[in-house]
Amino acid sequence: MASPPAPPRLFPVFADLRGRAVLVVGGGTVALRKTTALLEAGAIVRLGAPALNAELAGLVEQGRIEHLHGTFAPRWLDGAWLAIAATDDDEVNRAVAEAGEAQRVWVNVVDDARASSVQIPARVDRGPLQVAISSGGAAPMLARHLRETLETQLDTSLGELAELLGRERHRIRSRFPQMGARRRFFDRLLQGAVPALLRRRQHLAAEREFGAQLHADASTARGSVALVGAGPGDPGLLTLRALRVLNEADVILHDRLVSDEVLQLVRRDAQRIEVGKQAGNHHATQDQIHALMLEHTLAGKRVVRLKGGDPFVFGRGGEELEVLRAHGIDFEVVPGITAALACAAYAGVPLTHREHAQSVRLVTAHCRESQDTLDWPALALERQTLAVYMGVAGLDRFSARLIEHGRAATTPFAIVENGSRANQRVITGALSGLAELARIHAVQSPALLIVGEVAALANTLHWFGGPPLGAPAPAVAEAA
Ligand code: SAH
């Protein structure tokens, strides 16, 4: 039995097509896509086809490409450096490939690696920086998959970094004529503040920092902190930026609330430190967290301070940044999906509703003192939704005071425990029964309480995990 020929080992090349003639054969959408890419690369495009689609015809009209009428003839290749066969007719495509072979013109036949003498890779574009991926035609889907992965991991600011390094090439060379010293400089530079400043769109500061690093000696390298929101637990709710920052971290300081699934996405060799806070000894640990952040950044490390949900929503993120600023340490903030938004979405509760709720309040009620300072008359107002964080302990008091201040005892609520995680539970009912239902179902932290008319929608709009507990069984409702 003959097995199919092994895929060729290709030699990658990046071609400079500026001002060079390229033949595209075909008049449809594929030809248009290739033509557009070739024009972007500065090529002179000649397009051969009996008929053109509207966009291609437009390009001809604007004089941006030349049109060769009729069916393919080998003389179309005269003077071309490269040809792309993009018709849906195998015979025509093959004719282009054969003519190209005879005339020593590289030919790519779209979606036919075997007929092609040159293949066009999947690529990730970051300005002058391009990553090209090819499987030699063996597994185009695998190449595409890898492209998508890289697309998510390579920040768009890499293009600007490449431009900056291009502009500064001569200065870098003259400062570090020796290859070894130059390489060490790049290692420091790429792990330091310059890429982070570009991510933050602070171009002037990035240039200044670049200049400083060019002339600094190696021992002064300083670390930085990214304060990152890890979302509620489902790793799919991380932002792309969070993922990129996690990939580059040397040290991760994370809360107990951060899920294992998210922690698995951290760079393998990064040092992970759990700085979980137990209720009760907040203050002692907060100081230790500050000390840890300082210790690692002063050692030149890239620290990620990873918090559940969003770092600026009941996350004490502000306090941590104040400490960093006071010590002159660079930081960036990556927002996360906060529990209120995630739990509402995963329980099928729209937080606002044209008929029921025109505003949402994020409230915390984790202990007696914090409940004492709440503005109860405002919280008890109708036509709004309350999203209550850390509410598990004081639920009876919380519901009693809302009712005391005028919120109807029948107002619906939903408790979302372990929102967005595999073990999510939702409990629904009326405000007067809140504490009892929570006891019956033994609600555990982390749980978020939603109060307002919209909470009842969980009973019909639930889509994740099981249906809400404590909801009236439909059979009983019908019988009544
Ligand atoms: N910064 C976090 C909140 C930290 S306070 C954020 O933006 O989400 C901790 C409280 O958040 C918990 O007591 C709970 O009320 C809520 N919470 C966080 N993650 C949760 C989750 N997955 N499910 C339900 N509640 C959650």
- Distance in Å, CA 257 to ligand 1 centroid: 8
| Catalytic position from the list 155, 234, 250, 255 | 255
Single-letter residue type at 35:
T
What is the distance between the alpha carbons of residues 165 and 397, in angstroms, rounded to a whole number?
Answer: 61
According to the model, what pLDDT value does residue 296 have?
A: 92
* Minimal-distance CA residue to ligand 1 atom 6: 309
Q: Which residue has the tokens 């004490």?
A: 316
**Which atom of ligand 1 lies closest to the CA of 315?**
1
Tell me, yes or no, if 255 is annotated catalytic: yes
- Distance in Å, CA 463 to ligand 1 centroid: 20
Please state the pTM of the whole predicted model: 0.71
Mutation pick for ligand 1 pocket among 234, 238, 254, 257 (CB with most ligand atoms within 8 Å): 257
What is the distance between the alpha carbons of residues 4 and 9, in angstroms, rounded to a whole number?
Answer: 15
According to the model, what pLDDT value does residue 46 have?
A: 97
**Which atom of ligand 1 lies closest to the CA of 339?**
8
What is the distance between the alpha carbons of residues 173 and 188, in angstroms, rounded to a whole number?
Answer: 16
Q: Would you give per-residue pLDDT tens digits along the chain (480 residues)?
A: 567 777 778 899 999 999 999 999 999 999 999 999 999 999 999 999 999 999 999 999 999 999 999 999 999 999 999 999 999 999 999 999 999 999 999 999 999 989 999 999 989 999 899 999 988 888 888 999 999 999 988 999 999 999 999 999 999 999 998 887 888 888 788 888 899 899 989 999 999 999 998 988 665 567 889 999 999 999 999 999 999 899 888 999 999 889 999 999 888 889 999 997 654 445 447 889 999 999 999 888 889 999 999 999 998 899 999 999 999 998 999 999 999 999 999 999 999 999 999 999 999 987 667 778 899 999 999 999 999 998 788 899 999 999 999 999 999 999 999 999 999 999 999 999 999 999 999 999 999 999 999 999 999 999 999 999 984 455 544 443
Strands 21-25 and 44-48: parallel
* Minimal-distance CA residue to ligand 1 atom 13: 390
Quick check: helix, strand or coil at residue 473? coil
- Distance in Å, CA 448 to ligand 1 centroid: 7
What is the distance between the alpha carbons of residues 29 and 343, in angstroms, rounded to a whole number?
Answer: 43
**What are phi and psi for residue 391, nearest 5 degrees?**
-95, 0
Tell me, yes or no, if 88 is annotated catalytic: no
Rg, C-alpha atoms of the chain: 30
**Which atom of ligand 1 lies closest to the CA of 311?**
1
CA distances from 356 to 408, 453, 471 (A): 14, 6, 20
> What percentage of the chain's residues is helix, strand, coil (to nearest 5)?
40, 20, 40
Quick check: helix, strand or coil at residue 448? strand
What is the distance between the alpha carbons of residues 293 and 324, in angstroms, rounded to a whole number?
Answer: 8
According to the model, what pLDDT value does residue 78 have?
A: 96
Helical pair 240-248 and 140-153, crossing angle rounded to 10 deg: 90
According to the model, what pLDDT value does residue 478 have?
A: 44
**Which atom of ligand 1 lies closest to the CA of 449?**
15
Strand partners, 66: 46
Quick check: helix, strand or coil at residue 40? helix
- Distance in Å, CA 346 to ligand 1 centroid: 14
Which residues line the pocket of ligand 1, CB cutoff 6 A? 232-233, 257, 307-310, 313-315, 338-339, 343, 389-390, 416, 418-421, 445-448
**Which atom of ligand 1 lies closest to the CA of 424?**
23
- Distance in Å, CA 353 to ligand 1 centroid: 23
Helix (H) or strand (E) holding 227: strand 224-229
- Distance in Å, CA 247 to ligand 1 centroid: 24
Q: How many CB atoms lie within 10 A of CB 269?
A: 7
Strands 251-254 and 302-307: parallel
- Distance in Å, CA 396 to ligand 1 centroid: 20
According to the model, what pLDDT value does residue 472 have?
A: 46
